[in-house]
């Protein structure tokens, strides 16, 4: 078994010639000398433009966002004239994974099984751990969005919080 020689950089600046386009994470593979860019995105199946199709087709929101992200990075040029490979990791707000995100997790689980110090006993344990972890992160993000919207709804002109302005009486029997 061998160690993987991969490092990463979060939101790398000056990676692409067009500096407005940058991935969320770039992985650098020291053995192959290649980069892998990852762009993470959330898609909501209830978004106005795709609601009807999302209701008819499972995974439509994720697939649509994957296509947009793929098109965004296709043909992007790195300094030196080479192109980079970018994988969009798309998750729907209710937990569905995009096809490329699922394939990426599968590939990572197989690669990590080569590492001697791998804390997971199998590729399946690796995938289960990361699916749970992403699910938790996603639910925390959803909760933040809901709380933010509730706070905007509850604000009034006089500054009073009307949404939570009520008396609750609890009776213990």
Q: How far apart are the first and last CA of the chain?
A: 64
What confidence score (pLDDT) does residue 66 get? 94
Q: Stretch 95-121: mean pLDDT, rounded?
A: 82
pLDDT bracket for residue 11 (50, 70, 90): confident
pTM: 0.71
**pLDDT over threshold 70, residue 16:** no
- Give the CA distances from residue 85 to residues 29, 71, 100, 132, 148, in Å, rounded to whole numbers and listed in that order: 13, 12, 13, 27, 36
Are 43 and 93 in contact, with CB atoms under 8 Å apart?
yes
Task: Give pLDDT tens digits for 17-73.
Answer: 666 667 888 888 777 777 788 888 988 888 888 888 888 888 889 999 999 988 887
Which residue bears the tokens 């609750």?
Answer: 168
Q: Is residue 173 part of a domain?
A: no
Q: Is residue 116 part of a domain?
A: yes
**CA 116 – CA 75 distance, rounded (Å):** 37
Please choose, from the candidates 35, 97, 20, 37, the residue with its C-alpha nearest in 3D space to the C-alpha of residue 65. 97
Q: Is residue 166 part of a domain?
A: no
Count: domains in the chain: 1
Q: Is residue 170 part of a domain?
A: no
Q: Is residue 54 part of a domain?
A: yes
The dihedral formed by the CA atoms of 10, 11, 17 and 21, expressed in degrees to the nearest 10: 140
Which contiguous run of DSSP H or E holds residue 44?
none
pLDDT bracket for residue 1 (50, 70, 90): very low
Give alpha helix (H) positions in the chain: 51-56, 60-73, 99-112, 123-154
What confidence score (pLDDT) does residue 77 get? 62
SS3 128: helix
Q: Is residue 171 part of a domain?
A: no
Task: Give pLDDT tens digits for 73-90.
Answer: 777 666 555 556 788 999
Are 31 and 64 in contact, with CB atoms under 8 Å apart?
no
What confidence score (pLDDT) does residue 90 get? 93
Are 153 and 161 in contact, with CB atoms under 8 Å apart?
no
What confidence score (pLDDT) does residue 2 get? 46
Domain that residue 57 falls in: 6-154
Q: Is residue 117 part of a domain?
A: yes
What confidence score (pLDDT) does residue 162 get? 54
Q: Is residue 159 part of a domain?
A: no
Task: Give pLDDT tens digits for 152-165.
Answer: 776 655 555 555 55
Task: Give pLDDT tens digits for 133-145.
Answer: 989 988 998 888 8
């Amino acid at each position: 078994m061998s160690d993987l020689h991969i490092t990463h950089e979060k939101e790398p600046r000056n990676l692409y010639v067009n500096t407005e386009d940058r991935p969320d994470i770039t992985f650098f593979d020291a053995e192959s000398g290649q980069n892998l860019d990852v762009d993470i995105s959330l898609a909501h199946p209830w978004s106005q433009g795709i609601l009807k199709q999302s209701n008819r087709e499972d995974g439509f929101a994720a697939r649509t966002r994957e296509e947009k992200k793929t098109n965004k990075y296709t043909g992007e040029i790195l300094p030196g004239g080479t192109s980079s490979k970018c994988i969009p990791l798309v998750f729907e707000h209710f937990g569905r994974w995009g096809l490329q995100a699922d394939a990426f997790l599968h590939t990572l689980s197989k690669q990590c099984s080569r590492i001697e110090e791998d804390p997971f006993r199998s590729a399946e344990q690796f995938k289960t751990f990361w699916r749970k972890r992403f699910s938790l992160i996603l639910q925390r993000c959803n909760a933040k969005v809901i709380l933010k919207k509730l706070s905007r709804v509850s604000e009034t002109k006089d500054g009073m919080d009307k949404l939570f302005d009520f008396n609750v009486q609890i009776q213990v029997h």
